[in-house]
Structure 1
Amino acid sequence: MQSLWMVAAAFLFACMGVCVKLAAEAGYSPAEIVFYRNAIALALMSASMLWGRLDPRTPHWKFQIYRGVSGFISLMLYFYAIAWLPLATAVTLNYTSPLFLALFLAGLSGARLPASLVGALVAGFAGVVLLLQPTFHADQLAGGLMGLASGVLAGLAYYNVRELGQKGEPEWRTVFYFSLLSTLGAGLWMLFFRFHPLTLRGAGLLLGVGIFATLAQLAMTRAYSRGRTLVAASLAYTAVVFASLFGMLFWGEVLSLAAWLAIAIIVLSGMAATRFSRANPAEQD
């Protein structure tokens, strides 16, 4: 039952996506949205660390920087994709990360890919090609490529999270440095855009992005730490379902049959890739 926390996390991540899309429609740039999302998380993490008298010093600076930079750029591209694409499409492209994580594990860790995992990867990338078919409008194609790039970088970020975990780095410290680096990066990125003053509605949306993201992270961590890993990883894809429902409810988004087929292929392939990569003997650690 603890794995069901992942359903709560998926719902909260979808709620975050709704707030991101509404904030973008209100005129806020992705840089501003990323900044406020991480600044809120940084404030919450800093207060928690001060309360618990936790030591922020880390002996693994290299991996923290790799994780922070890859995660920040992935998040930035993901928010661009949410602003430009149907919500379900953007979420699905970001959830290609397990496919790329399997490739990073093979390429960077030397893990051997079994035939079953290779089949799942091939099917997943076929789904990506189907989803990014030329029926996209020109502006949507750019957003689609950004969404796919966010999945690539998210896979790299998760690889570095895995490396940090194996080196004994506590999760709270990794979340803290990710929030810190992303806040600084987004703050610098904001210099290239016109700053939008906070309105009451805008502040509410940006606060919603930060709160929903933080609560989702907590629920996801609980699901992975107390539930069955494979069940939790599979349930993470319910975020696509919630995003689809929210897209239809708030924006009247209607996807083509081909797009729904592509989403189904990517989701099933991602679930299979997660299962097969966990079953790989090189990953039993």
Structure 2
Amino acid sequence: MPILKWFLTSGFGLMLLAAFVFSLADVLTKYLTSQLPIMQIAFIRFLLGVMLLWPILSSRGISLRGNQTKILILRGLFGTLSFFCLLQSIALIPLANAIVLFYTFPLFVALFSFVFFKTPIEKGEILLIGAGLIGIYLLIDPDFHSFNAGYIFGILSSGMGGMAMVLIHQARQTNGPLIIYFYFCLIGGILSFPFFLRGFEIPDFPLGMLLIFLGLMLLIGQVLMNQGFKFCKASEGSLIMMSEIVFAGIAGFLIYQDPITLHFLIGALLIIGSGVGLNLMSRRSRRSPVSPNAQ
């Protein structure tokens, strides 16, 4: 089919498809967090990732040790913490709000790149970071009518994710995307295993299948995104991936009846706009454009 072929061979199509798959995973995650302990969801996701990636890496002769092991472990640690916080955020607040908050990570990438690697921040980037912070304030609700801890977890998820992105940039200098993602799943599995055992609940067959399906969707989305970056620039791919916000927002409104308020719309536009601007400006700096869902 010509349309399917286009989706699978063009950077725009692959990125759009990856964003759609990730948004489906977001919707499913929202449901599963109301049925199962969060750490059980996380551990199964990480376990499936390790089980699927291990034979792929071995068949390609890629050493499981990787290069810059310390960076890989740190990236896995921050990515795991980001994922834990994202799950908690999705469980507690409207889906669209959780995803929009996660997409503030370009702000943290710019800040952490400056703090840890002395990458200069231009005046325009400072203004964009300020706009993003205002967007966060509006999204949380300045009158605190609907505030809960989910918003804090959303910001923590973004911050941890931003640090993970900075470390990914370092790791990519000597490692491929598969080994980086493998370490994320490996570290995540190790960290979540004790909590998985403590709160383990045997899911019924439908829930068990949904857990497996979620793990597969996240892996498929990651593969589509990695493939998409082969056909387009990193900055372009990162911007296309922001369509996940739109997909998740529509799904949250239709499926979970999430409210769409004026504060949310203005805050989301400021956050998306700042993210787009920071990605575009990163072309002129030494900082690589950041790609969402790399965690």
Is 1:178 matched up with 2:151? no
User: 1:284 Cα deviation (Å)?
Assistant: 7.4
User: 1:96 Cα deviation (Å)?
Assistant: 0.8
Residue pair 1:4, 1:235 contacting (<8 A) in 2 also: no
Q: Which residue of 2 aligns with 1:157?
A: 164
Q: Could you tell me which of 198, 205, 208 is aligned with 2:210?
A: 205
Write the letter of the residue equivalent to 1:20: T
Q: Which residue of 2 aligns with 1:262?
A: 267
User: Kindly tell me: are residues 38 and 150 of structure 1, through their superposed partners in 2, closer, same or farther at Cα, counting changes over 3 Å?
Assistant: same
Residue pair 2:89, 2:151 contacting (<8 A) in 1 also: yes
Greater shift in the superposed pair: 49-58 or 254-263: 49-58
Is 1:61 matched up with 2:66? no
Q: CA RMSD of the aligned region, Å? A: 1.6
CA distance in 1, matches of 2:55, 2:180: 15
| TM-score (structure 1 length as normaliser) | 0.93
User: 1:277 Cα deviation (Å)?
Assistant: 2.0
% identical equivalent positions: 25
Is 1:83 matched up with 2:88? no
CA distance in 1, matches of 2:51, 2:197: 22
Is 1:106 matched up with 2:114? yes
1:19-67 Cα distance to aligned partner (Å, 9 max, x none) = 11111122x1111111111111111101212332322123412101110
Is 1:218 matched up with 2:262? no
User: Kindly tell me: are residues 241 and 164 of structure 1, through their superposed partners in 2, closer, same or farther at Cα, counting changes over 3 Å?
Assistant: same
Residue pair 1:117, 1:276 contacting (<8 A) in 2 also: yes
If asked which structure has higher relative contact order (CA below 8 Å, sep 6+), I would say: 1
Question: Which structure 2 segments of 5+ residues have no match?
Answer: 1-9, 290-295
CA distance in 1, matches of 2:125, 2:143: 29
Query: How many residues matched?
Result: 280
Question: Which structure 1 segments of 5+ residues have no match?
Answer: none
Which structure carries more helix by proportion? 1
| TM-score (structure 2 length as normaliser) | 0.90
User: Kindly tell me: are residues 8 and 191 of structure 1, through their superposed partners in 2, closer, same or farther at Cα, counting changes over 3 Å?
Assistant: same
User: Kindly tell me: are residues 261 and 36 of structure 1, through their superposed partners in 2, closer, same or farther at Cα, counting changes over 3 Å?
Assistant: same
CA distance in 2, matches of 1:8, 1:82: 22
Residue pair 2:282, 2:288 contacting (<8 A) in 1 also: no
SS at structure 2 position matched to 1:254: coil
**Structure 1 residue runs of 4 or more that deviate by more than 2 Å after TM superposition:** 50-54, 133-138, 189-192, 282-285
Written as runs of structure 1 = structure 2, the 5 A alignment for 1:1-285 is 1-26=10-35, 28-136=36-144, 140-166=147-173, 168-192=174-198, 194-280=199-285, 282-283=286-287
Residue pair 1:78, 1:147 contacting (<8 A) in 2 also: yes
CA distance in 1, matches of 2:62, 2:251: 38
